[in-house]
Amino acid sequence: MKALGILGALVLAMSSTGLTEAHSSSMAIRPKLVGGQKFTVFDTPIPLPIDSSAINPAVPVDAKAKVEIVSTAIVGLLSTELKIPTSNIRVTSAYTDAASGITHIYLVQTIDGKDIANSVANVNVDANNHVISSSHSFAPAASLVSAAKIGTDGLESSDTAKDALSLLATHIGVSLTKTELDAATSAMINSVVSDEPQLLVESLPAAFAIDGTAKVNREYIQQGDGSVVPVWRVVVEQKDHWWNAHIDVSGQKVISLSDWYAQSESYFVYAKDTLSPADGSRVMVVDPAFTSASPKGWVTGDSTSGNNVWAQSNPFGGSTWQNNHRPTAQSGGVFNYTIDLTKAPKAYVDAAITQLFYSNNIMHDLSFIYGFDEAAGNFQDENYSGEGVGGDYVVAFAQDGGGTNNANFATPPDGQNPRMRMYIWTETKPNRDGDLEQDIVAHEFTHGISNRLTGGPTNTDCLNDGESGGMGEGWSDAVANILRLKSTDTKHTDFILGDYVYTKSIRNYPYSTSLTTNPSMYSLLDDPNYEEVHAIGEVWAEMLYEVMWALIDKNGFAKDIFAHDLTKGNSIMLQILLDGMKLQPCNPTFIDARDAIIQAEKNLTGGKNKCAIWTAFAKRGLGVNAPRSDGGSHTDDSTVPSGC
């Protein structure tokens, strides 16, 4: 039937020597298998050789029985395809996902019933019992035969177990003396995850094991060249670590090491309260992720890629990103790269990518806290709440070669990755990099927020023309303005978007509560020069600037917008902007969007700020009698509701 087995095109090329992949962001190490582990998705799913009628989904056989039948068939297939006895394959877990109907089977290779820790496989089977994808890192059959075998007395040899503990202590830099090891006792216990017995070593010093214990058992591990060696597996918990190590006692080395604790992340960046290089210096921020928004941190692995965003360079302006350049963290998860602003931006591309990664994650977490979460269709690879569609982290291109003096953001529906492109700005010599100016990134990210929230997560065609398209630009400026507020700002402070990269305003006027500095009124939309989205957006953002200051003057200022203190003006502002987007119809007019904001405020505070908001809108001509007029005549009206 199949030229391509269920393992697809995966080759087990075993050519070179035992490489070890060092993960610089932590002390973790793991053998880099030359055969690799490639995930294969089958365009034509492969039917399993089982009697499907026995597990017809229409017949309510118990789900466990189905999983067992399917798992057995998978073990058989793997055995045939890889020429490995079925006795060398163990199913570690298997379940059918209730929503998708897909059965996920996870397996490990074994020798005499003991696991080869890093020789694993997973196979996904659809509801009709067809294999839809699979992957494996199994060792070649010959390696199983040639491996030195663990004797039956292996576990009882607590002396070599103690040697393993000693090797681990040295590796992680913790003192563990021979006297301390001699004082330790050991006892056999049963493992919770397999039938394999374990040795529990007790009375260890607290510096090495926080509860005085380490669990050890015998396993095998596959080395980089595909050969298999017996090891001691050691699990030991410390204050900030929970190590899972595989140690080759005869070879005197730690072969693999992982830490079940989340890694630390640090970034040397213009922090969120620093708008650009013109506004302050870079600082080291440590573990900046907000737990509620990014419970597992920002980084997955050791480069600028994670659950919310993947940031990379893109010198030729292409649209693929997986293999583009991303900086790798230094030891301890530290992203720290030099910037020399007297040089062209490409000289500091790693710092720029790091900054872009940081700023996008800041926008992810901020907008999450204010309700652009998984259910609302935000941008995440994995949606921890189980709501919304995942698989759609932001693909952010730093120093994108596709353009200059601009930036853009494309928002497909929920479940598909948006794209952010940041260009180099050529107004100055040397050129400047938009990645380093937070309001440009915030502006672009907010396009994603407004497009996903207006009209629901699966419709991103609700802000694409007329007034609605212009307001899309306006919200982006407005959120950038909220993010850059400092406690020293007052309603007399004017904001200029893009002042670092462009050295002057990229808009017609600064954002200002002065009608002289910024004369934008609703009626300006009738000006033939105001048909373009950014011009329309500028009028909308100016109205929102008035609303923002009205709310801050009435409610005070939250120094930390991330604290989500909804008694404070700037926090109320951001909240009602996002809530208003959720409320408003597809292709809203200025009037619709204003009304949605007023309804959102009513829902949030019971209408405490109703008059302040109306007064701010009315100041710019969007009073209660302003006509709804998408494309027609926009007459200014300064009326506020009676009672205000």
Ligand X SMILES: *[C@@H]1O[C@H](CO)[C@@H](O)[C@H](O)[C@H]1NC(C)=O
Residue 603 contact among ligand X, Ca ion, Zn ion, none, beta carbon within 5 to 8 Å by kind: ligand X
The CB-of-477 to Zn ion minimum distance in angstroms stands at 8
Select 386 or 632, whichever has its Cβ closest to Ca ion.
Answer: 386
Q: Which stretch binds ligand X (CB under 6 A): 285-293, 431-439, 520-528, 596-604?
A: 596-604
Residue 546 contact among Zn ion, ligand X, Ca ion, none, beta carbon within 5 to 8 Å by kind: none
Letter string b/e over residues 349-388, b meaning 16 or more CB atoms within 10 A of that residue's CB: bbbbbbbbbbbbbbbbbbbbbbbbbbebbbbbbebeeeeb
Cα–Cα distances in angstroms (integers) from residue 489 to residues 266, 366, 481, in the given order: 29, 20, 11
Confirm or reject binding of residue 579 to ligand X (CB under 6 A): yes
Tokens of 34: 């030359």
Tokens of 564: 């989500």
Distance separating alpha carbons of residues 378 and 368, to the nearest angstrom: 8
Confirm or reject binding of residue 210 to ligand X (CB under 6 A): no
Distance separating alpha carbons of residues 133 and 37, to the nearest angstrom: 13
Distance separating alpha carbons of residues 259 and 445, to the nearest angstrom: 33
Confirm or reject binding of residue 383 to ligand X (CB under 6 A): yes
Which of these, 450, 288, 296, lies nearest to 370 by C-alpha position?
450
Distance separating alpha carbons of residues 272 and 279, to the nearest angstrom: 11
Confirm or reject binding of residue 391 to ligand X (CB under 6 A): yes
Q: What's at 127, amino acid-wise?
A: A
The CB-of-101 to ligand X minimum distance in angstroms stands at 11
Distance separating alpha carbons of residues 231 and 217, to the nearest angstrom: 9
Confirm or reject binding of residue 601 to ligand X (CB under 6 A): no
Tokens of 464: 């694409």
Which helix (H) or strand (E) segment is 108 a member of? Answer: strand 103-111
Which of 524, 600, 622, 640 is close enough to bind ligand X by CB under 6 A?
600
The CB-of-487 to ligand X minimum distance in angstroms stands at 26
Q: Is residue 16 classed as helix, strand or coil in its secondary structure?
A: coil
Residue 297 contact among Ca ion, ligand X, Zn ion, none, beta carbon within 5 to 8 Å by kind: none
The CB-of-479 to Zn ion minimum distance in angstroms stands at 11
Select 129 or 383, whichever has its Cβ closest to ligand X.
Answer: 383
Residue 219 contact among Ca ion, Zn ion, ligand X, none, beta carbon within 5 to 8 Å by kind: none
Distance separating alpha carbons of residues 641 and 639, to the nearest angstrom: 7
Q: Say how many residues touch Zn ion, by CB under 5 A.
A: 2
Q: Which residue number is nearest to ligand X in terms of Cβ? A: 390
Which of 5, 390, 418, 569 is close enough to bind ligand X by CB under 6 A?
390
Select 347 or 389, whichever has its Cβ closest to Ca ion.
Answer: 389
Distance separating alpha carbons of residues 552 and 412, to the nearest angstrom: 34
What is the signed CA dihedral for 50, 54, 59, 65, rounded to 10 degrees? -80
The CB-of-581 to Ca ion minimum distance in angstroms stands at 16
Distance separating alpha carbons of residues 159 and 165, to the nearest angstrom: 10
Which of 41, 65, 284, 286 is close enough to bind ligand X by CB under 6 A?
284
For residue 204, what is the DSSP state?
Answer: -
Q: Are strands 266-269 and 334-335 parallel, antiparallel or unpaired?
A: parallel
Q: Which stretch binds ligand X (CB under 6 A): 131-139, 145-153, 350-358, 599-607?
A: 599-607
Distance separating alpha carbons of residues 69 and 59, to the nearest angstrom: 15
DSSP character string of 524-554: GGGSGGG-SHHHHHHHHHHHHHHHHHHHHHH
Residue 31 contact among Ca ion, ligand X, Zn ion, none, beta carbon within 5 to 8 Å by kind: none
Question: Hey, which residues between 351 and 410 contact Zn ion (CB under 5 A)?
Answer: none
Count of beta carbons in the 10 Å neighbourhood of residue 254: 22
Cis peptide before 430 (omega within 30 of 0): yes
Q: Say how many residues touch ligand X, by CB under 6 A.
A: 17
Q: Which stretch binds ligand X (CB under 6 A): 142-150, 254-262, 389-397, 434-442?
A: 389-397
Residue 35 contact among Ca ion, Zn ion, ligand X, none, beta carbon within 5 to 8 Å by kind: none
Question: Hey, which residues between 560 and 619 contact Zn ion (CB under 5 A)?
Answer: none
Q: Are strands 334-335 and 407-410 parallel, antiparallel or unpaired?
A: unpaired
Which of 280, 386, 519, 585 is close enough to bind ligand X by CB under 6 A?
386
Asked if residue 508 lies in contact with residue 521, where contact means CB atoms within 8 angstroms, the answer is no
Active-site positions? Answer: 444
Residue 387 contact among ligand X, Zn ion, Ca ion, none, beta carbon within 5 to 8 Å by kind: ligand X
Q: Which residues bind Ca ion (CB under 5 A)?
A: 388-389, 392, 414
Select 271 or 604, whichever has its Cβ closest to ligand X.
Answer: 604
Confirm or reject binding of residue 604 to ligand X (CB under 6 A): yes
Q: Which residue number is nearest to Ca ion in terms of Cβ? A: 392
Mark 470-499 with x for binding to Zn ion (rule: CB under 5 A) and - for no binding.
---x--x-----------------------
Count of beta carbons in the 10 Å neighbourhood of residue 466: 17
Distance separating alpha carbons of residues 259 and 264, to the nearest angstrom: 11
Distance separating alpha carbons of residues 280 and 86, to the nearest angstrom: 63
Select 204 or 497, whichever has its Cβ closest to Zn ion.
Answer: 497
Select 228 or 453, whichever has its Cβ closest to ligand X.
Answer: 453
Which of these, 460, 482, 501, lies nearest to 560 by C-alpha position?
482
Confirm or reject binding of residue 101 to ligand X (CB under 6 A): no
Select 77 or 596, whichever has its Cβ closest to ligand X.
Answer: 596
Question: Hey, which residues between 43 and 102 contact Zn ion (CB under 5 A)?
Answer: none
List of residues 6+ apart from 334 with CB closer than 8 A: 25, 266, 268, 284
Select 317 or 386, whichever has its Cβ closest to ligand X.
Answer: 386
Confirm or reject binding of residue 99 to ligand X (CB under 6 A): yes
Letter string b/e over residues 496-524, b meaning 16 or more CB atoms within 10 A of that residue's CB: bbbbbbbeebbbbbbbbbeeeebebbbbb
The CB-of-95 to Ca ion minimum distance in angstroms stands at 24
Confirm or reject binding of residue 12 to ligand X (CB under 6 A): no
The CB-of-447 to Zn ion minimum distance in angstroms stands at 6
Q: Which stretch binds ligand X (CB under 6 A): 81-89, 463-471, 523-531, 600-608?
A: 600-608
Distance separating alpha carbons of residues 625 and 548, to the nearest angstrom: 22
Residue 306 contact among Zn ion, ligand X, Ca ion, none, beta carbon within 5 to 8 Å by kind: none
Select 25 or 476, whichever has its Cβ closest to Zn ion.
Answer: 476
Confirm or reject binding of residue 453 to ligand X (CB under 6 A): no
Q: What's at 279, amino acid-wise?
A: D
User: What are the residues binding Zn ion (CB under 5 A)?
Assistant: 473, 476
User: What are the residues binding ligand X (CB under 6 A)?
Assistant: 99, 268, 284, 336, 338, 383, 386-391, 579, 583, 600, 603-604
